[in-house]
Amino acid sequence: MAHSGVVSSGKRKEIYKYLAPWPLYSMNWSVRPDKRFRLALGSFVEEYNNKVQIVSLDEDSSEFTAKSTFDHPYPTTKIMWIPDSKGVFPDLLATSGDYLRVWRAGEPDTRLECVLNNNKNSDFCAPLTSFDWNEVDPNLVGTSSIDTTCTIWGLETGQIMGRVNLVSGHVKTQLIAHDKEVYDIAFSRAGGGRDMFASVGADGSVRMFDLRHLEHSTIIYEDAAHTPLLRLAWNKQDPNYLATIAMDACEVVILDVRVPCTPVAKLNNHRACVNGIAWAPHSSCHICTAGDDHQALIWDIQQMPRAIEDPILAYTAAEGEVNQIQWGATQPDWIAICYNKSLEILRV
């Protein structure tokens, strides 16, 4: 049975922990204002049958409880709640794996709303490595795939009988983004926040696209050794900056789109490979990173382009390699990490 415990520091709890029934990989904070301290977790079991679980912190009892658990084919490569900070859309979350799926959260029953499959040949599916949900226009979702493409989906939320929303989706555009597998995609807040996005992939490049001019892309950065780039994240407050990590690398590369191809900073205090990066939702100069060295680090990059020597905060998860880190968009005081079967949220 899953259970949770609390590590207290004086009167104010600084860390809350939840132990899931299985190893965890993907995880995401809910954005809705009426659902504080709600997260979705994805299992990482190396077989077809996997799970997604929605957990919520009861602030009175200081315990995490599972609100909904549902089956998912294969491990989720990413989970995201709809970026709906006002709570005006249906309570949706999406997952990527073999396909993109959109779910409607419920307690206890979460319902599958739609499966979005862009493969014309139904015998074959090119797994999705990641996706991003557009914050400015939540009807736009972009996916990245091992088949070298990115697909931009348009979602429709229809009203039926005034009671039930049915969600469906159509392909707005599909493009060959890289020469090899695409590992991550993220929309930028630049230029209105709707049309610009970037991707990274096995060819070791960061490429930037504009939905209004898809005939060309801009290479912002190429890894010198052509090492695959696994993740990218845009600064939430300053759209000029983004961060990326290379496969098996112990450092995080910070880029400035105004100065292509030259990192503006490298954060290299991790002693094993970095697995996750997340910018602060409320500050342009803070980013957190997590890695196989069991550490979650918070950095202040205000000094750029002077070298950033050390993080301002370090947390060690004694029992395991940290494989996921997320900074709560509506809870800027809290960072969530996953290692082994554990979810922890840490007050910063």
pLDDT, residue 165, reads 62
pLDDT, residue 166, reads 82
pLDDT, residue 274, reads 97
pLDDT, residue 6, reads 45
Give long-range contacts, CB 8 A cutoff, 24+ apart: 150-153.
150/174, 150/175, 150/177, 150/182, 150/185, 150/197, 150/199, 150/209, 151/118, 152/211, 153/100, 153/116
**Whole-prediction pTM:** 0.92
Sheet with 265-267, side-by-side order of all strands: 229-234, 241-246, 252-256, 265-267
| % residues pLDDT > 70 (the chain) | 93
Per-residue model confidence as pLDDT tens digits over 11-60: 468 999 999 999 999 999 999 988 989 999 999 999 999 999 999 999 88
pLDDT, residue 222, reads 97
- Cβ atoms < 10 Å from Cβ of 247: 14
3-state secondary structure of 190: helix
Residues in the chain, pLDDT under 70: 1-12, 120-123, 158-165
pLDDT, residue 8, reads 41
